Chains A and B, each alone.
Chain A
């Protein structure tokens, strides 16, 4: 029975998705499918998948003996029906179902990619073999990267595809380095065994392995500054945006973090370094998030905050808290689209509710369950800072959703600036532009004039946030991918000119000229006149005689 359920939650959606995708190539008469039928097929398939996962969760007796050998020298690939993997799989599938039920239409290719991604993501969650998981992650990554091509016309969709796929491959390269190192030093690709044995490896080797794994987690969870591949776009359908881009890969990244957590705490240096990296990677997007209220981009920053904090908690041993990150991410995603698509007021209420839950959760961690490293004053201050900024984000989001109309623009700053506000002399233009006279921040900062310190602090935080957004986000990170691509292309062109054409081809031409010159010179000396030839013959005879004499 376990085998059947495993097939249902992996192969069935994958096969249906592949069939749907291939049907795109057959003659147009066969392509006509009603959008409603397509949606029902997806909902029915994902419902069956969800039921299968629930059956496996509630009946731990169901086991699977699915094992196969595929890649040379990679051993037997197993499936493991562990509860954590099944829960992650269920959450991911359930979100897809909710968004499908509530969401607006989508193309056939999107449907195909959703099904393929669902099947392979489930396989990644339940596989107990590193290569199988790697392959599943790669296929999910490809499906995610293909989404912009399918739904956005023109060059921007193609650019997004290339950027997303390359960034995801960067994470996969890190993962592959870690896998190959673990295979070398532990002799196995079985995830549980390899991770267990890797804990005891010497520190330099462990550092390489952890570096590869953390790079993979960093990219997949979209932790700052590698969060731009998560960029949402309202041109995409809800299922593509909220599920394919913002749910599947971050969940897979988080689950990977959950599994590798024992390695992160195996060495104190690694623990400290990654813990602080995670914390810093959460602080900066927290500042940026509060400036992006109401924009889909703010969700990226909140993702990045949660990713950074998840990394921090994982290095501090708070592994049991990680599933809450998934829960909050998913809840926020669903609410976001729910609010847009259907009942606005209810959406606002739920958004606030989710925000309060999130704040309570982080406060609980801060106060009650903070492990050793996070108990230092510095880290406590950082976490408190993040929680306060998250609180600001929740309240501003709630207010924004209940008072403003969504625009189709994806640029958060222009979104804010389109609503012209009165200028307030007290604040710099950059800040006063970001407020309107009904805004609670404005009231806090202008009407309550006695609280200068509060105003100063708020002004400082907002100003820093805007500065960060302009300088770091727009000035650096948004430009970093084009910059890297320019660097690579430019260096390619330079090498082409300098080495390929000027040096190698040039050397060749130079050598050819020298050879030609010598041959011409020799031809002049050697051929033609009889007396010259006779001189050569005489010279040769003399040299031969001399050689024979002095032998």
Chain B
């Protein structure tokens, strides 16, 4: 077996194996569950990075195993330049979330289940990106949903967790059904369930393209939490325990963008997608501005950052909607950089909540003096999401806006650009209210943050600066990916 195939198996196998071990030996592994999950996540990340040389040499590692022979369903895994940035992002976010959970989650009898479900969640995301078969894609897609829903249901915070889990399930399942309908239609037209085969060429009419793309757009926009399909997100992000929130916000939202890139934008040509450019751009701008306004209206710090995800996904949809090289490259970069900054911001909020036990922004003030490192990380996170150079989001926003200005719809791009001032407003408001000003007398730090909370937070703050200063490697990956998008005719 070639090493590339081994790495692909490890990407999926490591989280699967660690989840299995945690479930089978849960009583013995209560205290060490986090480390086993961490090892699984680390192995998965290393394996993802190990596939880079194969891609640089022009290869596209593929693994085909027979799954349901009678139905012709195979376990097809495939790695290309579109897959890899997403796989690496998800694996890295999972590892950081697991490390963060070491400091956030006190070991109890059910802890192995918690980490096992985190691993299943990670497995679902990795499988979705690696899948080269519609059935497999959809299976992993639903696995991701079930695992995350179970995490919210059993480990969610507050009395509302059951209702929120149900809402989350119904909403995202509705999106999944839209995707499923589109997949069925594709299968009916082509008679083929291989994604690679779909990319090679498709004989479809424009009306079929319109119908399929509409279903895909609705389905993936639910996952991306684009207005008005975002209603599951603020509640789910708020109720979920912080490590799960980090994975939901930083990794799972990006699956919607991946879906859009993998399906309509990979299998249809530029001409076929042009009718969707303006609706996507308009939906993106509305989501950007609406999410930012909601973030300004909120008082719960987790909900503020949750709504900021709605806004940030708006940027991504806007970039994809431009159908330009720069816009799509920027949107894909934004997925990665949004993962960094959103994980960073939620980690900072986790430290604040863990230390003070408070979530209302009006009850928090002046924490910078007792948490200077966290305050600096929060400031970096706020400036990053505000698009301040030379931090990473500036690079992706630059490309997104540059793509927007290459379209005939310059007024929309100007609105998107000026709308970004709202992002500056809520980011500064959030951080200055929590960390600056006079300390309130009742502000007591119950629990000082442990290294497991601080180390990944500092790492992400540094990463957002490093990525901002040296965006070339990530852009290099993405420019390779663009050859696979919209027929590769740029």
Contacts and interface: CB of A to CB of B under 8 A. Distances in A.
Given A25-B373, A165-B424, A173-B417, A72 B399 contact: yes
Contacts of A157: 436
A72 B388 CA distance: 16
B398 A71 contact: yes
A170 interface: yes
Interface of B is mostly: helix
A135 B417 contact: no
A204 to B, nearest CB: 10
Interface in B291-305: 293-298
Interface string B294-329: 111110000000000000000000000000011001
A485 B329 CA distance: 34
B471 interface: yes
Contacts of A25: 372-373, 376
A491 B432 CA distance: 21
A467 interface: no
A89 B429 CA distance: 34
A500 B228 CA distance: 9
B145 interface: no
Contact of A71 (B290, B296, B410, B471): B471
Interface string B419-455: 0111011001100100011100000000000000000
B293 A491 contact: yes
Nearest to B376: A25
A492 B296 contact: yes
B49 interface: no
A27 to B, nearest CB: 11
B390 interface: yes
Nearest to A183: B402
Nearest to B402: A180
Nearest to B470: A70
Contact of B399 (A73, A139, A499): A73
B142 interface: no
B432 A166 contact: no
A135 B391 CA distance: 10
A176 B167 CA distance: 41
B425 A72 contact: no
Contacts of A74: 398
A184 interface: yes
User: Contact size class for A?
Assistant: 35 or more
A492 B297 contact: yes
B438 A177 contact: no
Contacts of B398: 71, 74, 131
A181 interface: yes
Contacts of A504: 228, 231
A138 B389 contact: yes
A158 interface: yes
A100 to B, nearest CB: 27
A361 interface: no
Interface in A496-533: 496, 499-500, 504-505, 508
Nearest to A22: B376
B297 A154 contact: no
Contact of B297 (A135, A139, A485, A495): A495
A162 B432 CA distance: 9
A505 B231 contact: yes
A155 interface: yes
Contact of A166 (B325, B424, B475): B424
Interface in B406-425: 406, 410, 413-414, 417-418, 420-422, 424-425
A197 B98 CA distance: 54
B475 A158 contact: no
A419 B152 CA distance: 67
A149 B428 CA distance: 12
A276 interface: no
Given A183-B405, A488-B425, A73 B294 contact: no
Interface in A101-156: 131, 134-135, 138-139, 142, 149, 154-155
Given A71-B398, A165-B428, A492-B296, 13 more contacts: A69-B472, A72-B333, A73-B329, A139-B390, A142-B388, A154-B438, A162-B425, A169-B421, A169-B424, A170-B421, A173-B420, A488-B422, A500-B294
The 7 closest A-B pairs by CB, nearest first: A492-B297, A492-B293, A496-B297, A180-B405, A135-B389, A72-B475, A492-B296
14 contacts: A135-B389, A139-B389, A149-B436, A154-B437, A154-B438, A161-B432, A165-B428, A166-B421, A169-B424, A488-B293, A495-B290, A496-B294, A496-B298, A508-B167
Interface of A: 25, 69-74, 131, 134-135, 138-139, 142, 149, 154-155, 157-158, 161-162, 165-166, 169-170, 173, 176-177, 180-181, 183-184, 208, 485, 488-489, 491-493, 495-496, 499-500, 504-505, 508
Interface of B: 167, 228, 231, 290, 293-298, 325-326, 329, 333, 372-373, 376, 383, 386, 388-390, 394-395, 398-399, 401-402, 404-406, 410, 413-414, 417-418, 420-422, 424-425, 428-429, 432, 436-438, 469, 471-472, 475, 479
